[in-house]
């Protein structure tokens, strides 16, 4: 899933941080983990993941808060816009997952599945039929749902 030119741009609310990504993303997901929710203040977060070498900053780099060992969460130090989750991408190397809503054309990156669905807020669910994984999708486990969950499916 990519924009037609395999390049995309985005940035923070105030414009102090601008970034560009190139190439195809590794993943495009919804994340329901409590850390992503706290970082953004949203009930679910849409992220598009790239190798670190696919992401460049046109202005200054964002500030990065280490939310847990080996995991950073980037934000603009001027307006506070949350921008990324950053960490180990396993065989793909360092990973930068960009919050889709910070892209100039967020509609170009449609999520393909849900992760950490077991941590979702019980009153929030999306109406799509995408695969839902209780934790992370490492390619070995089957999703536990392919449809919206009820409040009893936790």
Tell whether 149 is covered by a domain.
no
State the CATH number of the domain containing residue 94: 3.90.1590.10
Q: Is the pLDDT of residue 39 over 80?
A: yes
Tell whether 129 is covered by a domain.
no
Q: Is the pLDDT of residue 57 over 90?
A: yes
- pLDDT at 153 (0 to 100): 54
Q: What domain range includes position 107?
A: 7-119
| Rounded Cα distance, 151 and 154, in Å | 7
- pLDDT at 1 (0 to 100): 43
Q: Which of 68, 115, 101 is nearest to 87 (CA)?
A: 68
Tell whether 139 is covered by a domain.
no
Q: Is the pLDDT of residue 152 over 80?
A: no
Q: Is the pLDDT of residue 5 over 50?
A: yes
Tell whether 154 is covered by a domain.
no
Tell whether 150 is covered by a domain.
no
pLDDT band at 51 (very low <50, low <70, confident <90, very high): very high
- pLDDT at 147 (0 to 100): 78
Tell whether 21 is covered by a domain.
yes
Q: Structurally, how many domains does the chain consist of?
A: 1
What separation in angstroms does the CA of 101 have from each of 24, 47, 76? 18, 8, 14
- pLDDT at 136 (0 to 100): 85
Tell whether 135 is covered by a domain.
no
Average pLDDT over residues 6-34: 96
Q: Is the pLDDT of residue 142 over 80?
A: yes
- DSSP string for 54-77: GEEESSPPPEEEEEETTEEEEE-T
Where b means 16+ CB within 10 Å and e means fewer, 78-116 reads: eeebbbbbbbebeeeeebbbbbbebbeebebbebebbbb
Average pLDDT over residues 45-74: 96
Tell whether 125 is covered by a domain.
no
């Amino acid at each position: 899933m990519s924009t037609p030119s395999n390049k995309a741009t985005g940035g923070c609310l105030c414009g102090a941080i601008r970034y560009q990504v190139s190439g195809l993303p590794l993943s495009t997901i919804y994340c329901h983990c409590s850390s992503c929710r706290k970082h953004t203040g949203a009930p679910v977060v849409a992220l598009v993941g790239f190798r670190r070498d696919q992401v460049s900053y046109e202005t200054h780099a964002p500030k990065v808060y280490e939310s847990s060992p080996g995991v950073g969460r980037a934000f603009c130090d001027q307006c506070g816009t949350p921008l990324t989750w950053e960490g180990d991408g396993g065989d793909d190397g360092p990973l930068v997952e960009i919050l889709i809503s910070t892209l100039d054309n967020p509609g170009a990156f449609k999520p393909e599945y849900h992760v950490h669905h077991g941590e979702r807020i019980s009153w929030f669910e999306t109406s799509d039929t995408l695969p839902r994984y209780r934790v992370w999708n490492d390619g070995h486990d089957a999703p536990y749902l392919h449809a919206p969950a009820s409040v009893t499916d936790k």
